Amino acid sequence: MPKIAFIGAGNMAAAIVTGLLAQKVCMPADLSCLGGSGASAQRLTAHTGIRLAASSQDLLADAEIVVIAFKPQHLATIDPSLATLTAGKLVISVLAAKTLARLSAAFPAARNIVRTMPNTPSAIGAGMTGWCSLSPLDSADRATVLTLLRAIGREVEIPESQIEALMGVSGCGPAFVFEFTAALREAGVAAGLDRDTAQMLAVQTLLGSSRLMAETGTEPETLRNQVTSPNGTTFAGLKRLEAHHFRAIIAETVQAAKTRAEELAQG
């Protein structure tokens, strides 16, 4: 792997660094970071052994790849010298709602720019990241991007025009799943279980069901039908979901997230 510099050293940078080191695709000496005015970069360095850069110039001196991992609002106030310091380098952004056009205005001389949209399970290596690039990636840069994103979970290349739809499904999806899990727990409490037991049942049921879908590659409808006997208990429950338009509610939820993502990308 080429040397990688991280601008921004918070949760997302830590997830990528931890994944790259755990998979032994990089050594700590190949990675360096720089934060803002807080302590995140010192923390990341102390936890992982990667190099803490003294300045933007120091950070980018021998890095081939630059990962942009600060908050989207910081893009407007970054060190202006980054526009020239990133010349000829591959820039990979994890910034939500920052388009390739906006990124290429900030890093005009980069050899290519990749826009990614990861999600929070990235922190445990179980993320889902959608990505697109400004120009088609050459084979070496593609290999680098795949290695980096696979260090935090799965990845899929999609056209930039679909990033907001992906945001509605996998970007915001974890929060929708957490809300569903909490609703399942509360329903268990209402049905007579104590809260801790209901929480354990709900979380393990989500985990087991997700693994069953992922590991068998079976359509969720097929797995649902396998546990639904005519006029049985699951059938009784599913009828209530249908009566209350469960699928329409989820469709509206994803659409609302997508619409908001489009508004933010324009702003």
CB of 13 to ligand NAP, least distance (A): 6
Residues contributing to the site for ligand NAP (CB under 6 A): 7-13, 35-38, 40-41, 69-72, 74, 77-78, 94-96, 118-120, 122
Least separation in angstroms between residue 172's CB and ligand NAP is 10
Q: % helix / strand / coil in the chain, to the nearest 5?
A: 60, 15, 30
Minimal distance in Å, beta carbon 31 to ligand NAP? 14
**Which letter does DSSP use for residue 227 in this model?**
T
Helix (H, G, I), strand (E, B) or coil at 245: coil
Residue 75 or 198: the one with the smaller Cβ distance to ligand NAP is 75
CB of 40 to ligand NAP, least distance (A): 3
CB environment 171-203: b (16+ within 10 A), e (fewer): bbbbeeeeeebeebbeebeeeebeeeebbeebe
Evaluate the CA torsion angle 4, 5, 9, 11 in order and state its sign: negative
- Write the secondary structure of 20-37 as one string of H (helix), E (strand) and C (coil): HHHCCCCCHHHEEEECCC
How many CB atoms neighbour CB 21 within 10 A?
Answer: 18
Q: Find the shortest distance in angstroms from Cβ 171 to ligand NAP.
A: 6
- Between residues 9 and 134, which has the closer beta carbon with respect to ligand NAP? 9
Q: Are strands 65-68 and 51-52 parallel, antiparallel or unpaired?
A: unpaired
Rounded Cα distance between 257 and 253, Å, is 6
Residue 192 Cβ vs ligand NAP, minimum distance, rounded to whole Å: 36
A 10 A CB-CB count for 243 gives 8
- Taking CB atoms, the residue at the shortest distance from ligand NAP is 10
Q: Which residue lies nearer to ligand NAP by CB, 123 or 184?
A: 123
Which of 2, 57, 1, 8 has the alpha carbon at shortest distance from 35?
A: 8
* Residue number with CB closer to ligand NAP (28 or 72): 72
Q: Which is nearer to ligand NAP, 13 or 198 (CB)?
A: 13
Of 47 and 74, the one with the shorter C-beta distance to ligand NAP is 74
